[in-house]
Amino acid sequence: MTTFCDAHNHLQDKRLELYLPDLMPAMHAAGITKCVVNGTCQEDWPRVIKLAHRYPDLILPSLGLHPWHIATRSRDWVENLKQFLAGETYPVFIGECGLDRSARGSDFEAQKEIFTIHLALASKQDLPLSIHCVRAWGALLEILRTNDIPKRGFLLHSYGGSPELVTELVPLGAYFSFSGPFLINNRPRAREIFQRIPPDRLLAETDAPDMCPPEEYREHQLEGPGDTPLNHPANLPQVIRGMAEILDHEEQPLRSLLLNNFSTFFQVKPRTKKTLRFKKPLDLR
């Protein structure tokens, strides 16, 4: 059976809480063997870690402050993040973090400062880093060019930049991940983006419960608030099918390529056991 790895999702999202008992068997049936679950604010970091404890063979935890949520941070958020990074025997990655100049983005100067802190933490330990960027590519390039970068590179999740930007980002160490909505885009433009990305820098993701793929690539669907459906993480194989169609590429070799790229980028050695020390105890049952 072909296996798949999801480079970026949010299984800790409260909208998925009631669905979790059914999500995991569906993901297993779809052949998904690993997924990176990304925290977005201090409130959900413990939920990410709790899920990683509950499903250790499936979930790779990643923690960060999403630019939409930086206003919720506490004064000691950096120390809190460092405690999580150091307190587990298995690796904890960095992200989701980044820059966003859309209507949902907040104080942009604060975003840049906070993202630079994430980048420094990832660089110091050479940890996988998952970056969100919307309408802020110039600022992102400036930060990446003037700061240390993890030796392994970094991931631009749900890449939404131009084809031309790819050639500037690749030398800096960028990996590029794509989710369902990318399949809606103009196909010639999508094909041009893919053609500029080195094959060994390509990844696939669901970003579940958001970023639903088009209906023709939506094998699974969850009810969301209002009329908006939630994206099911077991849709990953269909996203990859759509990528293969855009590339005019055979699907099986693409699956193997994505699996190898995932293993390369997210490979981190286990740590020796350490004792968790938090100001408040965490319920990890």
Query: C-alpha distances in angstroms, 207 versus 39, 193, 194, 237?
Result: 12, 20, 19, 13
pLDDT recorded at residue 227:
79
CATH architecture for segment(s) 4-265: Alpha-Beta Barrel (3.20)
According to DSSP, residue 197 is labeled S
pLDDT recorded at residue 189:
86
Contact by Cβ (8 Å): 84, 92: yes
Contact by Cβ (8 Å): 48, 61: yes
Cα distance between residue 258 and residue 34, in whole Å: 12
Contact by Cβ (8 Å): 101, 135: yes
pTM for the model: 0.93
Determine phi and psi for 30, rounding to 5 degrees: -80, -5
pLDDT per residue rounded down to tens, the chain (285 residues): 689 999 999 999 999 999 999 999 999 999 999 999 999 999 999 999 999 999 999 999 999 999 999 999 999 999 999 999 998 878 999 999 999 999 676 899 999 999 999 999 999 999 999 999 999 999 999 999 999 999 999 999 999 999 999 999 999 999 999 999 999 867 788 889 999 999 999 999 999 999 999 999 999 989 988 778 999 999 999 999 999 999 889 999 999 999 999 999 999 766 554 433 333 433 433
pLDDT recorded at residue 282:
36
Cα distance between residue 7 and residue 90, in whole Å: 17
Pick from 16, 134, 5, 122: nearest CA to 66 = 134
Neighbours of 49 (CB within 10 A): 23
pLDDT recorded at residue 280:
41
Contact by Cβ (8 Å): 140, 108: no
Kind plus residue range of the DSSP H or E element containing 87: helix 77-87
